[in-house]
Structure 1
Amino acid sequence: MKIIVVGAGVIGVTSAWYLAKAGHDVVVMDRQPAPGRETSYANAGEVSPGYSAPWAAPGIPLKALKWMFQRHAPLVVQPKPDLAKLSWLAKMLANCTPDAYAVNKARMVRLAEYSRDSLAALREETGMAYDERTQGTLQLFRTQAQVEAAEKDIAVLRDGGVPFEVLDEEGCLRAEPGLAGAQAPIAGGLRLPGDETGDCFKFTTALAHLAAATGVEFRYGVTVDRLLLEDGRVRGVVTADGQHRADAVVVALGSYSPALVRPLGIALPVYPVKGYSLTLPIINENRAPVSTVMDETYKVAITRLGERIRVGGLAEIAGFDLSLPPSRRATLLHSVQGLFDGAGDVQQAAFWCGLRPMTPDGTPVIGRTPVPGLLLNTGHGTLGWTMAAGSGRVLADIVSGRRTDIETTDLGIARYARGSSSPTGALRPART
């Protein structure tokens, strides 16, 4: 089959790679001049299956109200009116129940674990390097209340067979010696030894080059204006230079996916949740993190990427705004300086933001749609890097009509259909 993949971020590139490996003729289109230039460019660097959890969780509504009055708030909701935002928030709030959280987290961990294993196999197959490390993630708790609240996540990890270690302060220092000089309190931690780290941009660029060498065609600087629909089936895409026909189209446009599929009657519940990062060159090896430390208080990940420290996180619901407010930079600095002060050169820090494509339930939307010839691989939120390899592999299996290695029926857009037993909310059926 000839397949057009729209989007050359980490999700689009991994999709293209696995589709090509399955024997398909693949063309990737992206408006940027090269792969991985938007949300995949400077994310937190985590490949963290064990930390895969939806933002929609019990207690989040109350926490969000408290964060409104907090200087270094991990979540900010801009008050600007936006019907799409209000609809998405309503669906997200509907998922903030214990039952919904357990269902959503379990399937996210399932996909993320599979993706981590797929990434390891891909790394072994290709020999690519992207500042990867396989030394786990430490979720750091500054308060005893956070330690106690982690019991819910631990139960899901235990049920899913995910390895974990519950650490006291001394155990946290053994895992991350650079924390010895932390100014912030350390009440304990949850270490996930199976997690990895790596530079998503380096990975995406390297895999795109490998995919091109195997025959995948990449067309950069191309904006897809609309999907080509004929007789109720997607037959390709339309760009400024005309029609480009294919047997199927995979939409992997992240936060921009809903706008492309909306004219076909598909109300894809993906909304941009803005995240920020700082990248600092290491100036004190002894103070630097070994792998990833997730600062639970501020929802900030501090990750070692080669000779750099990536400080990434926060969530801002502000539509497609790409501004860089100094207050968000201050929050990232507050987190890293409280835990690893002096490890990186703050004066040389590069400040960045990206739009994470988030679903109300936290799980991405992968697979076929009600419109023949149209498939989705989008909505990965903060976990695009974590879930990329597995998502691409699953997508390729679905396209090829092969049995997938993991359960995928609950990853598709059908879970949002009216009448679905899923707690994720309603989706208007597609018109064909």
Structure 2
Amino acid sequence: MEPFAPGKIIPTCSGIPAKVVKYLAEGGQGVVYVVEYGGEKKAMKWYKDGALKNSDLFYKNLVKNAEKGSPDPAFLWPITATEQVDGSFGYIMDLRAEGYYELCDFTLAKVTFTSFKAATEACIRIVSAFRLLHNSGYCYQDMNDGNFFINPKTGDVRICDNDNITANKTDTFILGTPRYMAPEIVVSGGREKPNTQTDRFSLAVVLFMILCMNHPLEGKHWLVPCLTPAMEKKLYGSDAVFIFDKDDDSNRPVKGVHDNVLQRWKYMPSYIQDAFFTAFSKEAIHNPARRLRELDWLKVLVRFQSDIVRCPHCRNEVFIQDASDTRCDDCGRTVEVKHTLKLADYSITAAKGTRIYRCQLGACNADDALDRIGVIVSRDDDPNMLGFRNMTKDTFLAITPSGKQKQLKAGDVVPLKAGITLQLPGGKTIGIN
């Protein structure tokens, strides 16, 4: 059909008409327009004739998802489906804000994060969004580097292409995108269908690409004159090998070709490396039940974010090792760790802006994982004076080494002084050193 002209009125299932303002973009599946909807500028994706294998099933799922609503604000979720016009249909969604770039722009080095802390924040937000998606009974199905728009300064994320999302283990004739599909889908040739576990493999690929700027399966095996479909089936499916597999070095990164990942990997803390060892182990590649869950990722990512601090001498980002003084790899001077927080299983650096989440205090419900417990703040008149602010609605007890107790109500701050223990409801504690 011909493109919609400005002024064209499209009826929607909500009863609020959409008025076409202008053409915005186009992909293989559909065309995107800027529209006026309910007095606001929105985006409308309109499907091309013949783009969908089962348009009736797809349309019913789209209407249902719009009615149910988004599980997380990060998703550019369908606000409403349109009514069918001239044999096709579309849906209304929010416009992407300025300052966000596709993940592929980062992996191709067209855009860079302003800090590693921002990159880690992006990972946390992506994992959190998919945790809520999966907990709502959905499967994303087609995760790839075109789905994510990221703010390089803040790490804020917007997730698009949510029209393929459906109930877990529901067949909508969507298999995924090459390089991001789980190995069992690649090997089966489409007999295996996307589900929560295949999402989790794709999620691990996305996280590795954000942090290490390389595909986790593309090492030496990938360096051939021409990748045939049969070879790709082996590389990403039957013979997939993680480039840093502990027991199989046949697919290692090649110096001069994979320099980004070689440089980044050596600086990754051991617990981040261990998470990827597990996520891309041969057991996890071939047994979906062995893949890391969202809560597992959140635990290591929030820890990693806490361990990233600025060198006070040159402002380079430093990955603190074991919450102790660490040499800056840029200027060579020592970054002194003045205060630490002893959590359930490890200690972290207590620097201004450090956030403490529920998942860092031991076993927790997945829904509570990113509940903020506290944040490290500084005094306005003395930036070197740090304190712990209670970010919950509960009252903590601050206990000094001599046994004196003080209530720490919501929003209250206790100075960071060695020996103080914060006692939280439920028996959880945080030690200040």
TM-score by length of 1: 0.22
TM-score by length of 2: 0.22
